[in-house]
């Protein structure tokens, strides 16, 4: 009895801290949702606008900036998915060639140690026409070379995607490498004996076995894309015009520039719904697949 109580006591001691964290988390979400139904501007009004409770949401979806930010969110999500593909390629190369594994793993993980603000500033220099890639190409004799992507509304988002992929590929490489190391070496030996090509082994055997790793990467990528703000601020500050606005940038801009708390709360609430729409199905799919795998094992 004494041993059992000694195990339970530390868990009971953690309950107040857990309760405070949960209350703060749910309270902040509830407060934001509540504010989105009020006429709050720079200062909060704690009365719901019952005449037009969805006033802020009507304004939100009638705002061209919000619609642009949603379109850019989709573009950023699909573009940033390249980081998972690049991470898998790097992990496969490192796994196949064991020599220098620690060195290459450190090199590819280095961008992750750099903050998104620093990454954005560095890539802003790279895309700067005066001393970036364009200047380098022109100094090499390619006088008509043009690489001024950040000043062109049609290419600015692609420049941000390149910077994002560079920054996060090492992280997904580490996850993929851990997944590859968990695969039984006998699978490789059996494939080699059967004369199965390396490409077919990856496509038909290895990748299906790593589906949970890919799913984990997809969840983390989705959450990162939805809250993307730092790199946008550092590279373009939302420009040119509103061409690189994303929901997080729009929300903070609504509060800091327009000074409209209710409007910003409506945008934040929509970001929460987007997160739930992406996150919950992926979690449910993971739980269902794990349940199916356990039934198959039994």
- 212-226 pLDDT tens trace: 889 889 888 988 999
Residue range 68-86: mean pLDDT, rounded: 95
pLDDT at 9: 57
pLDDT at 258 over 60: yes
Helix (H) or strand (E) holding 82: helix 82-96
Residue 235's CB: how many other CB atoms inside 10 A? 26
Query: pLDDT band for position 298 (50/70/90)?
Result: low
pLDDT at 103 over 80: no
H and E: helices and strands count for the chain: 15, 0
pLDDT at 51 over 70: yes
pLDDT at 3: 47
- Residue 114, classed as helix, strand or coil, is coil
Query: pLDDT band for position 5 (50/70/90)?
Result: very low
Q: How is domain 64-297 classified at the CATH fold level?
A: MetI-like fold (1.10.3720)
pLDDT at 201: 84
Angle between helices 82-96 and 211-226 (to 10 degrees): 140
Residue range 243-271: mean pLDDT, rounded: 91
Residue 61's CB: how many other CB atoms inside 10 A? 12
Q: Model confidence over 10-29: pLDDT tens digits? A: 655 666 766 777 777 778 88
Closest CA to 260 of 33, 35, 25: 35
């Amino acid at each position: 009895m004494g041993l059992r109580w000694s195990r339970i006591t530390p868990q009971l001691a953690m309950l107040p801290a857990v309760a405070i964290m949960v209350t703060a988390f749910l309270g902040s979400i509830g407060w934001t949702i509540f504010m989105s139904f009020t006429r709050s501007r720079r200062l909060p009004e704690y009365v719901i606008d019952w005449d037009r409770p969805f006033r802020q949401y009507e304004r939100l979806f009638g705002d061209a900036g919000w619609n642009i930010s949603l379109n850019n969110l989709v573009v950023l999500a699909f573009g940033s998915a390249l980081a998972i593909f690049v991470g898998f390629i790097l992990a496969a190369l490192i796994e196949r060639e064991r020599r220098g594994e620690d060195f290459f793993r450190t090199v590819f993980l280095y961008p992750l140690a750099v903050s998104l603000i620093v990454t954005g500033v560095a890539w802003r220099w790279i895309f700067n026409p005066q001393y970036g890639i364009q200047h380098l190409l022109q100094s090499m004799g390619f006088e008509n070379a043009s690489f001024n992507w950040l000043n062109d509304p049609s290419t600015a988002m692609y420049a941000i995607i390149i910077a994002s992929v560079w920054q996060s590929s090492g992280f997904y490489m580490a996850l993929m490498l851990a997944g590859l190391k968990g695969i039984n070496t006998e699978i490789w030996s059996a494939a080699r004996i059967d004369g199965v090509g390396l490409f077919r082994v990856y496509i038909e055997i290895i990748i299906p076995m790593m589906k949970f790793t890919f799913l984990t990467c997809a969840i983390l990528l989705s959450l990162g894309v939805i809250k993307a703000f730092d790199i946008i601020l550092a590279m373009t500050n939302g420009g040119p015009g509103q061409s690189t606005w994303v929901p997080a940038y729009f929300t903070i801009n609504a509060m800091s520039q327009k000074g409209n708390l209710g409007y910003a709360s409506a945008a934040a609430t929509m970001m929460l719904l987007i997160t739930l729409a992406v996150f919950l199905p992926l979690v449910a799919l993971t739980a269902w697949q794990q349940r199916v795998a356990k039934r198959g094992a039994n």
